[in-house]
Amino acid sequence: MIGNAFEDREEPPGASRSASSNVFPTGGRQAAAPEIDAALRTAFEGEWARVVATLIRVTGDWDVAEEAAAGAFERAAVTWPRDGVPRTPGAWLTTTARNLALDRLRRRGVEAEKVKEWIVEREFEGGTGGPPDPADVIADRDGPGWDDRLRLVFTCAHPALPMEARVALTLRTVGGLETGEIARAFLVPEATMAQRLVRAKRKIRNAGIPYRVPPPDALPERLGGVLAVLYLIANEGYLASSGDRLQRLDLAAEAIRLTRLVTQLVPDDPEARALLALLLLQHARRDARAGADGELVPLDAQDRSRWDAAEIAEGLRLLETSARVAHRTPDRGPYRLQAEIQAVHARAATSAATDWAQIAARYDELAGFGHSPIVELNRAIAHGFAEGPQAALTALAALEASGSLDGYHLLPAAQADFLRRAGEADAAAARYREAIALARTAPERRYLERRLAELA
């Protein structure tokens, strides 16, 4: 399970994951100057998915692509401190990775080498064969070059794969997360996740799943899975799952960029627009959500002047157009409901002015889309702020009894907060300790420890 607690709450912190601190290539090299480390980290966050996607396109081999990309970053970690950061790090990494991939393919045999080299030459010369890929149409219309990452998302989100495998594979190939990090996000052993990723890539290879954006007539049946994957990538960016960082802004930005491309593919789809609105309204609060030292800042303590007004305006505008596009289907979809919840927060001039009753009503509707313990958690919290602590504590107790959030730190964190509000300090302290023991990121642990200390 991936915690999709997109909803900020007044007190309890959000779920968390992080990545690049662990996948970043540091092993086996001497410490580099801070500016080199910063350049390597920036290159990793900005170029990993691009390099992997390009190599998958030109080699057709996912394992070779990932290994060559990792090798290129390892070489950069050795070469850049000695020779300096290249003027175009992305091009340097792509060329290095391509050469590593070709070396690997050559070792597999002369015949295979010729075939692969022919594919590489053809692809790099721009030949694709067959009808144009919708990703190329978008790129030709709106910007320079191609977008292999959009192809990668559609391939990872193919309906032949189970949903959890789609998300895991996308987090690995697009997000650059390591297997252990994805395993923690899904609350499964690392070996289980490794097997899941291997099976997913094998399925793509054996089933001949094409590496491309599907044609327009096939988009509707693929869209739901793609939006779900983009949502979860953004979720990982909004609240990192491990490590020392609260947010992964690179992933959040990438999810927004890819969702924009999807809305261009399906301009009349209200849920695609609503998802983009949701991501923008969430992303607009990024600067206010963490303090100067990376500490979590809860919603009620955030400086709202630091919210990105332009992104909020765009998110609200998209939400309005989503509603107009959906006029023939008045029922709200899950992304629109969540975007509307975020719009309530965005429109509130102060925390005290937040219309929690409206938010609770939206969560009631959202719960109708199927059982999600995270939605139930946020629903309980919203009703607690709308109706008082006891309403939340009753709902949270029922959620705890269900066992659906066992081991998830936000459940005891929420209980601790409402127990504190109800004046039950001892019970609140016990729940804070439980949440601290379960929290998976340093900023969340520090936040919970501070709240516990305030009870003394």
Which pLDDT value is given to residue 13? 30
Asked if residue 14 is part of any domain, the answer here is no
Q: Where residue 100 sits, what CATH number does that domain have?
A: 1.10.1740
167 and 256 in one domain?
Answer: yes
pLDDT for the residue 183: 79
187 lies in the same domain as 260: yes
Whether residue 149 sits in one domain with residue 257: yes
**Whether the Cβ atoms of residue 322 and residue 274 lie closer than 8 Å to each other:** yes
The verdict on residue 200 lying in a domain is yes
In a domain, 197, yes or no: yes
**Which of the listed residues 266, 292, 326 is the one where a domain comes to its end?**
266
CA angle 423, 429, 433 (to 5 degrees): 155
Q: Is residue 71 part of a domain?
A: yes
Same domain, 67 and 179: no
Let me know if residue 366 belongs to a domain.
no
Domain boundary among 249, 266, 283: 266
The tens digit of pLDDT for each residue in 148-163 reads: 778 888 888 888 888 8
User: Residues 152, 245: one domain?
Assistant: yes
Q: Where among 205, 233, 266 does a domain terminate?
A: 266
**How many H-runs (helices) and E-runs (strands) does the chain carry?**
21, 0
CA–CA distances in Å: residue 384 to residues 160, 341, 391, 421: 41, 16, 5, 10
Under DSSP, is residue 423 helix (H, G, I), strand (E, B) or coil?
A: coil
Q: Phi first, then psi: what are they for 318, rounded to 5°? A: -65, -40
d(CA 233, CA 435): 25
207 occurs within a structural domain: yes
The stretches in the chain having pLDDT less than 50 are 1-28, 110, 125-130, 141-146
Q: Could you read off the pLDDT of 277-306 as tens digits, one per residue?
A: 999 999 999 999 988 888 889 898 999 999
42 shares its domain with 93: yes
Asked if residue 260 belongs to a domain, the reply is: yes
| In a domain? residue 398 | no
Same domain, 164 and 103: no
Find the domain containing 50 and state its range.
Answer: 33-108
Q: Are residues 242 and 162 in the same domain?
A: yes
What is the domain count for the chain?
Answer: 2
* Contact indicator for 440, 409 with CB cutoff of 8 Å: yes
Are 76 and 189 found together in one domain? Answer: no
Q: Residue 429: its pLDDT value, please? A: 97
In Å, how far are 130, 150, 332, 448 from 48, measured between CA atoms? 28, 14, 36, 33
Domain match, 58 and 162 both: no
Find where tokens 């200390």 sit. 453
Same domain? For 150 and 97 the reply is no
Same domain (yes/no): 99, 196:
no
The predicted structure's pLDDT at residue 329: 55
